[in-house]
A and B are shown apart, each in its own frame.
Chain A
Amino acid sequence: MAISTDEVRHVARLARLALSEGELDTLCGQLGQILDYVKQLDRLDTAGVTPTSHAVETGTPFREDVVVPFPDKEALLANAPDREGDAFRVPRIIED
């Protein structure tokens, strides 16, 4: 199944991956190959087959919606690449 460089570029944008031209080329070939391979599933008639949602069916577990404060906020924030006080700082989102 041929997949165009433009399609790969589109998927990379959806996946938030800034791929190089070289990577796009390589992936174009490899994704095509892999998609060709998985197309073998089309040989199976799956009309009326329920898709698997859980490998082991146990019903839906419920719990109360209770807020549990994390005991060590500072340890969480310490992993931030860029922070200001208790906030994560990111590049500007809204244009002038």
Chain B
Amino acid sequence: MATIPVHEWTLLEAAAAVRAGDVSSRALTQALLDRIAALNPTINAYVTLLPEAAMARAAACDEAQARGESLGILHGVPVGLKDIFCTKGIRTTCGSRILGNFIPPYDAAVTERVLGAGAVLLGKQNMDEFAMGSSTETSFFGKTLNPWDTARIPGGSSGGTAAAVAAAMCFAAMGTDTGGSIRQPAALCGVVGLKPTYGRVSRYGMVAFASSLDQGGPLTRSVADAAAMLGIVAGHDPRDSTSLDVPVPDYAAAVGRDLKGLRVGLPKEYFAGEGLDLEVRAAIGQALDALLAAGAEAVEVSLPHTEYALSTYYLIAPAEASSNLARYDGVRYGHRADGASSLVEMMSRTRAEGFGPEVKRRIMIGTYALSAGYYEAFYAKAQKVRTLIRRDFDAAFDKADVLLTPTAPTPAFKIGEKTGDPLTMYLSDIYTIPCNLAGIPGISVPCGMSSDGLPIGAQLLGGHFREETVLSAAAAIERAIPLPRVAPFEG
């Protein structure tokens, strides 16, 4: 461990080093702040940085340790949060102008749990506005660049989070995933991204996009780190009525588990499309070989309604978004337009000024799909197709314990390449969206590099509450395919 730079440690290595007294939280935090100071002006992974608060918290951690107080799992370890989790007294923008001056008076459940485990918060990370996007190009606070190739996007919407983890500008961070927003940027930045079962992690204080699909989860540089983070944030929260009141297993124990007899399903529809890059296909082949070598067996499965998932998602998510985003009206918080003479004019101009083009587009689709005369044809129809998609997964999980698929159809694309054509952009989430519709857990784990030196991720999907299965399979891939865990960008 002494031979690699401090910032390249995994989350668990950093936590162990602090606990053992090998490094102080202050030294660790300063090292990360120095690295952020060098890299963030280019990568733009952080929207808000908290250097003074982080150092004060690190000092408090060191003092607590000196006093012999009992230490949390993340005691003294610097982490980040996507700027979608409310942080008490710290600006929370959700990537939007309309929340540019919003100071939450409370912490999100995820914030409480991460800080409660002893972590030091370095700052709030950049994201597509209101988590709507696949490239982190729609943030009001500027684009985030991919630290593997700064001409390329980091994925989205948790692009700032993935870039920060990949470039070692934090040891781990929490993102959110509505249609792939943890897994897709994790794949494109070469890190691990886990979307838990819907309801596993409380959504209290997490700015809502599409409530029936949104789920918080960790982005880390190792599968063991992801398991540790999930153990911290998972569990019932009475403040979120959709949070599940079920026991939280020992995720860390799942990471080293034997795969003998594990049935790995390959959904044939995920490999049939023309959009799948050949190098991505080959890397998934390597991931499969790793699972087979670890004792798993392969079975072909079918998810026949896959081709309808994108349409279903792009009706349900905007419909829920149009409703959730109605609260941004300039009355109680956020930006307000000047000089309006009536309430409706004030709200309409506030929203027109405060939201960017992608958010407006989705509010419009959603409002249209929910409007009188169209509700049955669009929204109600989509919720029925969603049932068919869930049934596909139920049938697949009768035959297989875990499904292996690509996370994204291609490695990271170039900045600006898809911004003019929303439908093409939406297609980059084709492999991740069905998981959210079904509410099942999914993980993306690095499984190869393209000839251009860009990371490729494999996605593993499990049945409801089967995070342990996807973690154990992801760990086997991680062990078998050695890859650089930190992006080469050095500022």
Residues of A near any B CB (own CB < 8 A): 3, 7-8, 11-20, 23, 27, 30-31, 33-35, 37-38, 40-42, 44, 46, 49-56, 58, 61, 63, 70, 72, 75-76, 78-82, 88, 90-93
A44 and B322 form a contact (CB under 8 A): no
B395 contacts the other chain (Cβ, under 8 Å)?
no
Contacting B364 at CB < 8 Å: which of A17, A46, A82?
A17
Q: Which chain A positions have C-beta within 8 A of B330?
A: 81
A44 and B360 form a contact (CB under 8 A): no
- With A50-B387, A55-B436 known, 4 other A-B pairs at CB within 8 A are A38-B314, A56-B197, A81-B334, A88-B332
Contacting B352 at CB < 8 Å: which of A18, A55, A91?
A18
A27 and B364 form a contact (CB under 8 A): yes
Q: Which chain B positions have C-beta within 8 A of A19?
A: 352, 360
Contacting B102 at CB < 8 Å: which of A13, A14, A72, A79?
A79
- Measured in the bound complex, the distance between the Cα atoms of B212 and A93 in whole Å is 34
- Nearest-CB residue, chain A, relative to B215: A55
Of B175-183, B252-260, B288-296, B375-383, the stretch lying at the interface with chain A is B375-383
B345 contacts the other chain (Cβ, under 8 Å)?
yes
B198 contacts the other chain (Cβ, under 8 Å)?
yes
B198 and A81 form a contact (CB under 8 A): no
User: Interface size on B (CB < 8 Å)?
Assistant: 73
- Nearest-CB residue, chain A, relative to B348: A18
B244 and A58 form a contact (CB under 8 A): yes
- Measured in the bound complex, the distance between the Cα atoms of B195 and A55 in whole Å is 14
- Measured in the bound complex, the distance between the Cα atoms of B314 and A49 in whole Å is 20
- Measured in the bound complex, the distance between the Cα atoms of B344 and A34 in whole Å is 28
B329 contacts the other chain (Cβ, under 8 Å)?
yes
Q: Which chain B positions have C-beta within 8 A of A70?
A: 105
- Measured in the bound complex, the distance between the Cα atoms of B77 and A54 in whole Å is 36
Q: Which chain A positions have C-beta within 8 A of B349?
A: 18
- Measured in the bound complex, the distance between the Cα atoms of B89 and A61 in whole Å is 31
A11 and B368 form a contact (CB under 8 A): yes
B390 and A46 form a contact (CB under 8 A): no
A90 and B387 form a contact (CB under 8 A): no
B351 contacts the other chain (Cβ, under 8 Å)?
yes
Say how far A25's CB is from chain B's closest CB, in angstroms.
Answer: 13
Q: Mark B347-386, 1 if CB is under 8 A from A, else 0.
A: 1110110010100110111011001000000101111111
- 26 A-B pairs within 8 Å (CB atoms) are namely A3-B368, A11-B371, A12-B364, A16-B344, A17-B360, A17-B364, A27-B361, A30-B422, A31-B361, A31-B365, A34-B365, A37-B423, A38-B311, A38-B315, A38-B382, A41-B381, A51-B384, A51-B387, A55-B390, A56-B197, A61-B245, A63-B241, A70-B105, A72-B105, A80-B332, A92-B342
B216 contacts the other chain (Cβ, under 8 Å)?
no
- Measured in the bound complex, the distance between the Cα atoms of B246 and A58 in whole Å is 10
- Measured in the bound complex, the distance between the Cα atoms of B139 and A13 in whole Å is 25
B103 contacts the other chain (Cβ, under 8 Å)?
yes
- Nearest-CB residue, chain B, relative to A3: B368
- Nearest-CB residue, chain A, relative to B212: A55
Say how far B306's CB is from chain A's closest CB, in angstroms.
Answer: 12
Q: Which chain A positions have C-beta within 8 A of B314?
A: 34, 37-38
Q: Which chain B positions have C-beta within 8 A of A54?
A: 212, 242, 439
- Nearest-CB residue, chain B, relative to A55: B439
A50 and B384 form a contact (CB under 8 A): yes
B199 and A58 form a contact (CB under 8 A): yes
- Measured in the bound complex, the distance between the Cα atoms of B422 and A38 in whole Å is 13
A56 and B342 form a contact (CB under 8 A): no
